[in-house]
Amino acid sequence: MLLTGRMGNAVVCLEREEAVEQYVRLSYERGTVLALNAGASAQVLLAWMDESDLDKLLATVELKRFTETSITDPAALKERLRDIREKGYSITIGEVDAEAMGIAAPVFTSTGDVVAALSVVLIRSRVSPNAVDEIVSAVVETARTLSEQAVLLES
Q: Is 103 helix (H, G, I), strand (E, B) or coil?
A: strand
- 21: pLDDT strictly greater than 80: no
Domain that holds residue 53: 2-154
Partners of 120 in beta bridges: 103
For residue 94, how far is the Cα from the chain centroid?
Answer: 13
Domains: count for the chain: 1
**CB 138: neighbour CB atoms within 10 A?**
14
Q: Which residues contact 68 (CB under 8 A, 6 or more apart)?
A: 94, 98
- State pLDDT tens for residues 62-113: 899 999 999 999 999 999 999 999 999 999 999 988 888 999 999 999 889 9
Q: What is the DSSP string of 5-71?
A: EEETTEEEEEEE---TT--S-----TT-EE-SSSSHHHHHHHHTS-HHHHHHHHHHS----SSTT--
CATH code for position 116: 3.30.450.40
Q: How many CB atoms lie within 10 A of CB 103?
A: 25
What pTM was estimated for this model as a whole? 0.88
Q: What are the two backbone dihedrals, phi and then psi, of residue 133, each rounded to the nearest 5 degrees? A: -60, -40
What SS3 class is residue 126? Answer: helix
What region, left, alpha or beta, does residue 146 occupy, with left being phi > 0 and alpha being psi -120 to 50 degrees?
A: alpha
Mean pLDDT of 122-145: 92
